[in-house]
Structure 1
Amino acid sequence: MVVKRNDVIIIGAGIAGLVAAYECLNQGKSVLILERDTTEHLGGLAKLSFGGMALVGTPLQKRLGIKDTPEIALDDWYSFANFSAEDVFPKQWAEQYVHESLGQVYHWLRSLNLHFFPVVNWVERGEYKRGNSVPRYHVLWGTGHRLVERFEELLKKHHNSAKLNYLFEHKVTDLIKENGRIVGCIAEQENTGKKDLTFYADHVMVATGGITGCLDKVREHWHKPWGEPPKEMLNGSHPFADGLVHDAVKKHGGNLTHLDKMWNYAAGIPNPKPQFEAHGLSLIPCKSALWLDHSGRRIGPRPMMTGFDTNELCRQTSQLEKPYTWQLLNWRIAAKELAVSGSEHNPMIRDRKLFSFLREVLLGNHRLVRQLQKESDHFIVANNLRELVEKMNRLNADHSIDYEVLNQEVTQFDDVIKRGKGLWNDDQLRRIQHARSWRSDRVRTCSPKPILDPKAGPLIAIKLRLITRKSLGGIQTDLQSRVIDSLGAPIEGLYAIGEAAGFGGGGASGFKSLEGTFLSGCILTARAAAKSINDSISRKG
């Protein structure tokens, strides 16, 4: 099979690949995108994402009275990242991110007719270490679905669209190296079985995502200080995020770093409509729910609660006797606080139906609660606690939950609430009060009331497992997104962008992310790679 040589080959058609293609077309380059999935899955995980981005010093923040600067953001970033002295490239990318997210992401996307919801959320506030000291989580109006849709439009209508070609269902298995330079790649055509197809280009970009779609690799690279990985995990990524091209990069001299650093979640349930083995949905768990271990005891001594340190929730979950947890709540809490991460279960934001979205915020998202009740056997609804315990044990096919134990846990919590706000001596209640002090969290967080209050029923129990999502480590790159070898020098012709590069430098987030640094990290690294290619051609010219 003879294929013409392109200026650029991009391996992967996620958002990083699409942004890179757009920027390369702007420069008049010919681009070939090789994508392992089918045409309808163009955009990858980005299209399924909620569309949140951590941005610094935006007009939205200023309008809400939030004083944020790159200096404040970098200080927060370093607090969570826990970088070592050897993390030269990740530190450079962290600094690049906080200084460039305003212009290179926020204003750039606005110039492309993409908009943000006029509320800034406060996530990853930190628990034992400071996280985001101010709200900076911006949500795209239309979610990640609209982001991908917009770049599809831009590429299709581009004046250089004739210079862009896609090849779907092509799995890249190796790179081609000649005289120390990467000059192409080798692929298999999965729907026909054809192998050893060769493609050549002056520049090759790896935009394949991370390794968290392969649970075996997640276990292989599990963070060793946490001990053994949970025996049961759900896949919140995609099986094609398996690190196959990472291995090819390593084979040709590229550095892989920090693969034990991952952005997983503690609140996954099996996807009621699975598309692959262990396919999971990532819930945004309720702040007002009690988080329990397999026996129905409240996890502690510090209660588990979302919104402060996602990494710590995963650590706590991984240390438990059984590989699952429970959340206990009622319908009132679920309607106000429960959400499912991603565009699919947030149709009002995805489809930009403002009135319907505001109605769900104000009156409760009863639609989602009813949907989960109907579709998921891990979402249990009952009229009283004894009935709930029976259903929980029936799901587990055992008697792990003792009614008296669970009744004591929830009654003790309710008794504290009944004493009145001035006597709320409970860490979870203190953090709920803190969350409700910020206006956007206040409308999505219940004012504490007893869980067993009959007026707030019925009762709900959700069985949760750890669910994988993103790789924080990956292929090491410099600030031009060029892949780095073991001596710290760039490999000619080879770039890595997005999650494949650990969102810059092989691990820009370090140990923990401030959340929302992923889509924007894809954009920053992709734009840097395209600029580097253009600059290198200009220098030669």
Structure 2
Amino acid sequence: MFAPAPCYHSDVLIVGGGIAGLVTALKLLDSNLSLIILDRDRKDKLGGLAKESFGGICAVGTPLQKRMGIPDTPEIAWEDWKRVARFRREDKWPKAWAKRYVEHSEKDIYTFLTELGIRFLPVVNWPERGMLQTANSLPRWHIAWGTGHRIIECLLKAIHDHPNRNKLSFRFGHCVKNITIQQGKVCGCTGTMEGTGRPFEAHADRVVLSAGGICGGNLSRVRRHWPGHLDKIPSRLLNGSHRFADGLIHDAAAAIGGKVDHPDRQWHYAAGIPYPKSLIENQGLSLVPPRSALWLNAKGERIGPLPLMGYTDTGYIVERLCREEEPFSWLLLNRKIALREMAVSGCDYMTAFRHRKFLKMIRELLFGNRELTDRLIRESDDILTAATLMELGRKMQEKTPEVPLNMKAMEKAVRAYDRQIEWGPSFFTDDQLRRIAITRKYRGDRLRTCKFQQILDPSAGPLMAIRTFILTRKSLGGIRTDLKSRVLNGQDSPIPGLFAAGETAGFGGGNMHGKGALEGTFLGGAILTAHHAAGSICKGE
């Protein structure tokens, strides 16, 4: 005889145990409601992609900004957001959520995290300043000390220590495929167990969807909904999202009338390399591309006419790379640049940050991150080193024999760049060097940016070439919600009993970021929308 399918009952079901689901659960524990979190992954993966992240949070008007004399306000941030998002007139809910973010990020995100025990690095960082237009006009990227791993750790501790902890239970390895509805109201969900395919059902008065986006899985949805403003889909993409971010929960919501907006609005990274020794197909590791590296196309030609510069405008760089013929590009630099500027957008490789080793972090800032650089060189087949440019070019050609390397063009670009550095800042006409000069004026970037480092400097070697690919990351589109995080149908009416938070909701309203994003609004958006979902449920809405 077959055992009956598991059947669960609670007041609230939360589908997805990432940061949005955990924040929702923590806030709902105050209400004395019974809760179940249904998560597809294993118990040790609780926290999802947020747990693996670097832990950067965009927040406006924080005490840390004020301490540094950064004159940020919600009004300034709102203008930056609108400029990058390029909202349309009909984007009612995305605009409402974006405005809510800049007005409430200090209280609902920054203060919320500090009250959990999260501490932020004492210097606010300033990525995504923009290439063709201003993005972040001021520094507002707050890095959690301990990375995203620490954020999840503190969230789980707060849940564990809550007086109503016994009201919450977890069910791992559960894949939700359908949302059940009776008499026009959501009343639970059904699905199957990962691995075995065994069915289950769950019943509740309210269901919160917080199971990530569509930019992971086997990447089929990324390709199906490839953004129209990007010239073509690269023949090879790396997966920088979650393996279960496959859009099944969006399909379930759409099947009962939920409106899914803009699946073609996606946020990808430009400098991915295959994750060393990964058992997951196409899993990628996102490098933070050094500002002082030269960005070359697959043939070794410097990409232009406007040179690409890392950490400045991710959306523009991805768009520009997608115009190239080949699916990969090269970062050309030397060891000195790598030691000072190389970083990884994640916690596993950034060990001083991940394990909160303050003295180690200071030593790496002052003398360079040798551990990271050496580990990447040792583990990655896509990072090449050589004593001379000729030798490096030979290795690049051997790595990609299908694409002829234009050695003359590469050498010409490197020597022209180095010559301008020799002449000095008064004579800079290279846009990358001009941007480096401006970047170094902000004290938060001075330590992490080389002072006009020549590529062929004999004392800075060996030379390095890093083959990079486009790496998928976040879904900017998602399930449409109102400011109470209620899922809306095509007529903009709430579906009773159904809520969505985090990336599943396009971080709020189905597309809070519009066509672009300011760095750090993903984790922040997950936290903000979770607050609103829990608040609405507590009020009986």
More deviation in 431-440 or 218-227? Answer: 218-227
Deviation at residue 226 of structure 1 after TM alignment: 2.2
The 3 A distance-change label for structure 1 pair 487 and 454 is: same
Does the alignment pair 1:389 with 2:398? no
Q: Show the counterpart of 1:102.
A: 106
The 3 A distance-change label for structure 1 pair 399 and 110 is: closer
The 3 A distance-change label for structure 1 pair 399 and 505 is: closer
Does the alignment pair 1:213 with 2:216? yes
Deviation at residue 463 of structure 1 after TM alignment: 0.2
Does the alignment pair 1:168 with 2:172? yes
Q: For 2:231 and 2:385, locate their aligned partners in 1 and report how far apart those are by CA, in whole Å.
A: 34
Does the alignment pair 1:484 with 2:488? yes
Contact 1:388 1:461 (C-alpha < 8 Å) held by counterparts: yes
Q: Show the counterpart of 1:285.
A: 289
Does the alignment pair 1:425 with 2:441? no
Contact 1:418 1:449 (C-alpha < 8 Å) held by counterparts: no
Does the alignment pair 1:441 with 2:442? no
Q: Provide Cα deviations, 1:34-55, integer angstroms capped at 9, x if missing partner.
A: 0001111000100000000110
Is there any run of 5+ residues in structure 2 with no aligned partner, and where? none
Which one of 169, 187, 192 corresponds to residue 196 of structure 2?
192
TM-score scaled by length of structure 1: 0.98
Q: Secondary structure at the match of 1:119?
A: coil
Deviation at residue 340 of structure 1 after TM alignment: 0.8
Contact 2:54 2:345 (C-alpha < 8 Å) held by counterparts: yes
Does the alignment pair 1:501 with 2:505? yes
Q: For 1:280 and 1:225, locate their aligned partners in 2 and report how far apart those are by CA, in whole Å.
A: 23
Q: For 1:326 and 1:521, locate their aligned partners in 2 and report how far apart those are by CA, in whole Å.
A: 33
Does the alignment pair 1:512 with 2:516? yes
Counterpart amino acid of residue 25 in structure 1: L
- Give the alignment's Cα RMSD to 1 decimal: 1.1
Q: Provide Cα deviations, 1:431-479, integer angstroms capped at 9, x if missing partner.
A: 1111111101111000113210101110000000000011111000000
Q: Secondary structure at the match of 1:185?
A: strand
Q: For 1:225 and 1:523, locate their aligned partners in 2 and report how far apart those are by CA, in whole Å.
A: 29
Does the alignment pair 1:201 with 2:204? yes
Deviation at residue 4 of structure 1 after TM alignment: 4.5
Counterpart amino acid of residue 238 in structure 1: H
Q: For 1:530 and 1:399, locate their aligned partners in 2 and report how far apart those are by CA, in whole Å.
A: 53
Displaced runs of 4 or more, over 4 A: none
Contact 2:214 2:245 (C-alpha < 8 Å) held by counterparts: yes
Does the alignment pair 1:78 with 2:82? yes
Q: Show the counterpart of 1:402.
A: 406
Q: Show the counterpart of 2:31.
A: 27
Q: Show the counterpart of 2:91.
A: 87
Contact 1:213 1:237 (C-alpha < 8 Å) held by counterparts: yes
Q: Provide Cα deviations, 1:287-324, integer angstroms capped at 9, x if missing partner.
A: 00100001110000000112221111110111101111
Deviation at residue 32 of structure 1 after TM alignment: 0.4
Q: Secondary structure at the match of 1:182?
A: strand
Q: Show the counterpart of 1:63.
A: 67
The 3 A distance-change label for structure 1 pair 74 and 399 is: closer
Counterpart amino acid of residue 199 in structure 1: A
Q: For 1:399 and 1:6, locate their aligned partners in 2 and report how far apart those are by CA, in whole Å.
A: 58
TM-score scaled by length of structure 2: 0.98
Q: For 2:266 and 2:442, locate their aligned partners in 1 and report how far apart those are by CA, in whole Å.
A: 28
Contact 2:479 2:505 (C-alpha < 8 Å) held by counterparts: yes
Q: For 2:195 and 2:406, locate their aligned partners in 1 and report how far apart those are by CA, in whole Å.
A: 52
Contact 2:418 2:456 (C-alpha < 8 Å) held by counterparts: yes
Deviation at residue 157 of structure 1 after TM alignment: 2.1
Q: Provide Cα deviations, 1:307-364, integer angstroms capped at 9, x if missing partner.
A: 2211111101111011110010000000000111111111111111101111001100
Q: For 1:408 and 1:191, locate their aligned partners in 2 and report how far apart those are by CA, in whole Å.
A: 55
Deviation at residue 397 of structure 1 after TM alignment: 2.9
Q: Show the counterpart of 1:254.
A: 258
Q: For 2:384 and 2:36, locate their aligned partners in 1 and report how far apart those are by CA, in whole Å.
A: 48
Does the alignment pair 1:473 with 2:496? no
Q: Secondary structure at the match of 1:374?
A: helix
Q: Show the counterpart of 2:356.
A: 352
Q: For 1:49 and 1:492, locate their aligned partners in 2 and report how far apart those are by CA, in whole Å.
A: 34
Deviation at residue 14 of structure 1 after TM alignment: 0.3
Q: Show the counterpart of 1:50.
A: 54
Deviation at residue 185 of structure 1 after TM alignment: 0.4
Which one of 8, 18, 22 corresponds to residue 22 of structure 2?
18
Counterpart amino acid of residue 146 in structure 2: G
Aligned length: 536
Contact 1:19 1:527 (C-alpha < 8 Å) held by counterparts: yes
Identity of aligned residues (%): 48
Contact 2:272 2:287 (C-alpha < 8 Å) held by counterparts: yes
Counterpart amino acid of residue 280 in structure 1: G
Contact 1:237 1:470 (C-alpha < 8 Å) held by counterparts: yes
Q: For 1:519 and 1:405, locate their aligned partners in 2 and report how far apart those are by CA, in whole Å.
A: 41
Deviation at residue 276 of structure 1 after TM alignment: 1.1
Q: For 1:79 and 1:425, locate their aligned partners in 2 and report how far apart those are by CA, in whole Å.
A: 27
The 3 A distance-change label for structure 1 pair 492 and 403 is: same
Q: For 2:141 and 2:96, locate their aligned partners in 1 and report how far apart those are by CA, in whole Å.
A: 22
Q: For 1:397 and 1:296, locate their aligned partners in 2 and report how far apart those are by CA, in whole Å.
A: 13
Q: Provide Cα deviations, 1:500-532, integer angstroms capped at 9, x if missing partner.
A: 001100110111101100111111100100000
Q: Show the counterpart of 1:335.
A: 339
